[in-house]
Structure 1
Amino acid sequence: MKRTTILAFAAAMLAGQMAAATAGEMTLYSRDGFRGEELTIRDGARNLRDAGFNDRASSLIVHSGVWEVCEDRDFGGYCAVFERGEYPNLRNFNNSISSVRQIERGGHGYRDRDHDGRDDRQERREWREEQRDRRGGFDRPDPIELFEHSRFEGRRVSFQGETRSLRGADFNDRASSMVIYEGQWQLCEHDNFGGQCVVYGPGRYDNLGNMNDRISSLRRVR
């Protein structure tokens, strides 16, 4: 009886440690450069209005985990993925974040923010098969792919590395959606990484929001 109790206690401790290891944490700041009022989130928030922080964040730090931030409550509107790191200026999301949550990382993709009910692994298989067919059997897709229209429609172009101008690919100011298979990428509105820039992590972005039809250069930053 005593041995059973000890084993049960050890199992509970191990489960608690595993949960703690996978728990994410992020801090939002009301001013850029990690200044002003702050709010630390560990369990996600469907509506930051409840915490008095709706549309107030101007910078953030992801201490652990991978987080999706959205401009509307209940994870609606324009969303993007932030991995562990410091983001002193949120640019497109400045004073426009209304909901946040930790998401699961799987392979080189994240949960589709459209939440259409399809299995993520199935979607990633479809991406790979489509890329393999388009490349005549080459199984590994380029790390980033841009689409001319929202929801991954229209003409598409893919890139493996730094591109100082999309004019050479006849895709300047034409991207409206994209898929990032791996790495973090900086997309900028002018050639040579000038103007407004936004960093995106792996995932599917069916609408680029404020960056729609404004991208002129891109590069992998991590």
Structure 2
Amino acid sequence: MSKIVLFEEPDCRGKWKEFADSVSNLDTESFAKTARSLKVVGKHWVAYKDKDMKGDFMVYGPGEHNNLGCMDREIMSLRLVKEELRNPEIVLYEDVDFRGQLRNIFERVDDLRRAEFNNLVSSHEVKEGVWILYKGFNQTGSRLITFKGEKCSNYCLFDWNDKLSSLRPLLNSDHEV
């Protein structure tokens, strides 16, 4: 069984609240923007700064996270990562609506220039796993997270058209991303 325990104080101390499934709004649990540390058992969890699993995020793997850094007192929603993290695959498309040249990606790519696909991506489809996409090289800059089965047909809708420069799959070994 997977679960996440949020704590009001650093070092997994103080008042706490446990969750076994995703929560779109921690206001309803009286624990919004309260967590200062957390503990993950089982699968990874994604903590978001906004309701409805939107906005900036951090991914937490199994273990104790005694200090949340930029997420300190910022967590508003949580998503349990139910996807298997083996055999990741994402398809990147040059044009919107899954058209144009495409690249099947199976592993971390620090610089899409090497694949002659930098700043060309306008849509994607996740075949397997969970992927984190970055505007900058070497996993820097603004980022998005996308899950198995998700299809994004038009990066123009959120100002990412032709801006993807690197990406990586979430791995079982990741402690914090």
Whose radius of gyration is greater, 1 or 2? 1
Match of 1:107 among 60, 74, 86: 86
Instruction: Give the match for residue 74 of structure 1.
Output: 52
SS in structure 2 at match of 1:134: helix
Cα 1:56/1:106, change in 2 over 3 Å: same
Residue correspondences, number: 123
Change (3 A) 1:41 1:81: same
Kept after mapping to 1: 8 A contact 2:90/2:105: no
Contact map agreement 2:47 2:59 (CA 8 A) in 1: yes
Q: Any idea what the Cα deviations from partners look like across 1:170-192, whole Å, max 9, x if unmatched?
A: xxxxx31453344537xxxxxxx
Aligned to 1:97: 75
Q: Distance in 1 between matches of 2:107 and 2:64?
A: 35
Contact 1:28–1:58 at 8 Å: present in 2 too? yes
Letter in 2 for 1:184: D
Pick aligned residue for 1:180 from 158, 168, 171? 168
Same amino acid, percent of matched pairs: 24
| Paired position in structure 1 for 2:100 | none
Letter of the 2:55 counterpart: G
SS of the residue 2:105 aligns to: helix
1: distance between equivalents of 2:4 and 2:20? 7
Q: Which has the higher contact order (CA 8 A, sep 6+)?
A: 2
Map of 1:57 onto structure 2: 35
Question: Which amino acid in the other structure matches residue 25 of structure 2?
Answer: N
Residues 1:130 and 1:31: Cα distance change in structure 2 (over 3 Å): closer
The CA distance in 1 between the partners of 2:107 and 2:62, in whole Å, is: 30
Q: Find the residue that maps to 2:22 and give its secondary structure.
A: coil
Give the ranges of 4+ consecutive aligned residues of structure 1 lying more than 2 Å apart after TM superposition: 105-109, 120-123, 125-136, 151-154, 177-185
Give the whole-Å Cα distance in 1 for the aligned partners of 2:108 and 2:30: 45
1:44 aligned onto 2:32: no
Task: Find 2:114's aligned residue among 134, 137, 158.
Answer: 134
The normalised TM-score by structure 2 is 0.58
**Structure ranking higher in helix proportion:** 1
Q: Assess, with a 3 A threshold, how the Cα gap between structure 1 residues 91 and 108 changes in structure 2: closer, same or farther.
A: farther
Q: Is contact 2:45-2:59 (8 Å) kept?
A: yes
User: The residue matched to 1:89 in structure 2 has which SS?
Assistant: coil
SS at 1:61 equivalent: strand
Whole-Å separation in 2 of the counterparts to 1:130 and 1:24: 26
Q: CA deviation at 1:121?
A: 4.3
Alignment of 1:178-217 (within 5 A): 179-181=167-169, 182=171, 183-184=173-174, 199-200=176-177
State how far apart, in whole Å, the 2-side matches of 1:76 and 1:24 are: 22
What is the root-mean-square deviation of aligned Cα atoms in Å? 3.1
Tell me, in whole angstroms, the C-alpha distance in 1 between the residues paired with 2:2 and 2:61: 10
More strand by percentage: 2
Any gaps of 5 or more consecutive residues in structure 1? 1-22, 110-119, 137-150, 159-174, 186-198, 201-222
Whether the aligned pair in 1 keeps the contact of 2:58 and 2:71 (CA below 8 Å) is no
